[in-house]
Structure 1
């Protein structure tokens, strides 16, 4: 019988009843670079930790199970995972990439992948006919859903039909929802990307990235590349991810509950001109999210009436931290213009809807009463400051 995802966060079925690790409930950290052999041709199954390490292998099996893939590979960061992913393409290849992506992905595509002879078309995949942008040399479609930071939602299943029709890979960055809320492979994707630093780790204490696939041929390519480039995740970081994943379900449920409450609170604020959260019925991707995901996540973006109001909020927050990243237990507020999307040209940011009055909120698991109280205090202080400036 298939396990529920909360249980899969805690248990690998093939490990049950296994005492290989002296009965240890917490999977051990195998902090070793190399492995001794009893003789020629007699291996323990591990040779050198750049190739594989028991702790990393266990983590990869857990993540593959969560995403219903046949293989998962753990990397030293999310960008390390995407960088290796781009190595399966060659000069002359063309990719269709969603227009609204994490700034680091855009930077990689524009300054590294393009240098290596790979071309890109930026497309609003949630609202155009992607088929119109396919060229003879197109090899893949790369999306986030929801996107970072504008929370655009793309129908994965419909896009997968286009990809299959034209023999293209469909690559989905699933960082914002995590495997707890969404499983792109089940919807027709070929490759799933995660920044494990975010919800999978969940505690803002380590970096990690993942590539997951349900295709043997892609798995073989990734396995060759990870041992060749040496981008695999270290044992201690692998253990931290295993520990974080154990609470993925309860963290995601609580964070989402808080995010919905904050989204409704923000909608009532005079200084807020727009709240972008896919769990609001007025969001254009609301119905698609209900169809392809089990939840709406805990990321939301909102627009303020002015740049000055946005900057003052960042100065006034205390319990909520003004910081990059997302997906941890603490609530973080981010200014995309100078942080996550600082290297994205201004005209592209503005075309995607990112202005100097845009803020992104990664909602954590604090008590919602404390979060709302902090926001009320911050908004009141900000309104007072701006009013005093006008009068002076």
Structure 2
């Protein structure tokens, strides 16, 4: 695994042309090979590719498989930049875009060439019934596994054709890199994705590759604590009068609990709730000693994001809280003090 920067092509060419495992760093390199092998094992797939970000993973997949006249289904209640990419780029290439919520995904999938499902959805934390969507999908089912991570669920085992994710978030977990990946059991799809990554340059840098692989050694410990913290925070918030709309798939009273329990091993580190106004959100963050405002999530420190500022269809006071690895008692007590 290479830690230092790779310049143009440090690999030696052979007289037996074409026999070399690596010739140019944008095509393949030893750092990617090790990380991709680990990610494939975590996701339970035979092939994995790393990319420069979660968005580049999604766009590599879509550019590889879509043609003019195809129908693409994207989540209306998932990560907003996926919708923007579909509207601003793919629609003008003659691709029909259908936006569907978690609850509309099964009906919307019928007749589509590609369906993108995100579960749990970001930021509302609704859960897609992957088996039901897979049964309704006649084309490719692509599942964004960023919020659950492969430690929480394996979408391909639940019927997906392709899994994509942002490794920037909980999987790397230290808020110090951008990364994405694609996983599949289909060798032809894998070849197409690798070709698109090569031609588009949607690649992961060598130092980021090293950092991501380094992070996998502690991913289970970190994610386990994040999930514990999220459940404890969600339970505490559910009994707080100044908070409404608490969502966490691991809460028995949550609307997504039944579906989430059937397909997830762990319920993730995100909790969402409503404080009623933008001002209340900012006051909450200021009064907390452990929480900082940040729009990424999945790191070792607890962060809060007022998602309406980015255009998500949520109320002004909607908060997506990303629980870190702080002591659970300390984190819950800090949140209670900040709210009261």
Normalized against structure 1, the TM-score is what? 0.82
Q: Does residue 91 in structure 1 map to residue 68 in structure 2? A: yes
Residues 127-154 of structure 1 show CA distances to partners (whole Å, capped at 9, x for unaligned) of 237236634xx20111101000101111
Q: Does 1:124 align with 2:101?
A: yes
Matched, 1:364 2:324: yes
Tell me the equivalent position of 2:126. 152
CA distance in 2, matches of 1:236, 1:31: 6
Aligned to 1:271: 242
The correspondence for 1:375, drawn from 321, 335, 339, is 335
1:323 aligns with 2:297: no
Any stretches of 5+ residues in structure 2 without a counterpart?
none
What does residue 88 of structure 2 align with?
Answer: 111
- On the 8 A contact 2:288/2:334 being kept in 1, the answer is yes
Residues 171-229 of structure 1, C-alpha deviation per residue, up to 9 Å, x if partnerless? 10000010011000001100101100001111000000111111112111101111111
Q: Aligned pair in 2 of structure 1 residues 246, 30: CA closer, same or farther (>3 Å)?
A: same
Q: 3-state SS of the aligned residue for 2:68?
A: coil
- Larger radius of gyration, structure 1 or 2? 1
Once the 2 structures are TM-superposed, how far is the Cα of residue 371 of structure 1 from its aligned partner?
A: 1.1
Aligned position for 1:6: none
**SS of match in other structure, 1:84:** helix
Is the alpha carbon distance of 1:176 and 1:129 closer, same or farther for their aligned partners in structure 2, counting shifts above 3 Å? closer
**Runs of 4+ that moved beyond 4 A:** none
Q: 2:225 matched to 1:254? A: yes
Which residue of 162, 180, 183 maps to 2:136? 162
Stretch of structure 1 that moved more, 116-125 or 242-251:
116-125
Per the TM alignment, residue 107 of structure 1 is displaced from its structure 2 partner at its CA by: 1.6
CA shift digits 1:41-69 (9 cap, x unpaired): 26431000000110011101110111111
CA distance in 2, matches of 1:321, 1:311: 10
Does the alignment pair 1:65 with 2:38? Answer: no
Superposed CA deviations along residues 57-84 of structure 1, whole A, max 9, x for unmatched, are: 1101110111111111111111111121
> Does the CA-based 8 Å contact 2:109-2:133 persist in structure 1?
no
Partner of 1:41: 17
How many Å apart are 1:305 and its aligned residue? 3.2
Q: Residue 81 of structure 1: which of 57, 71, 74 is its match?
A: 57
Separation of aligned partners in 1, 2:40 and 2:105: 31
Q: Greater CA deviation, 175-184 or 306-315?
A: 306-315
CA 1:306 to 1:42, structure 2 compared with 1: closer, same or farther past 3 Å? Answer: closer
Give CA-to-partner distance per residue, 1:303-341, whole Å, 9 cap, x none: 123343223223333421101111111111111111xxx
Q: CA RMSD in A?
A: 1.6
Bigger Cα displacement from structure 2, 142-151 vs 307-316 = 307-316
Report the count of equivalent residues. Answer: 337
Shift of 1:235: 1.2
State yes or no: 1:139 paired with 2:113: yes
Aligned to 1:297: 268
Contact 1:30 1:55 in 2 (8 A): no
Q: What is the rounded CA distance, in whole Å, between the counterparts of 2:145 and 2:86 in structure 1? A: 18
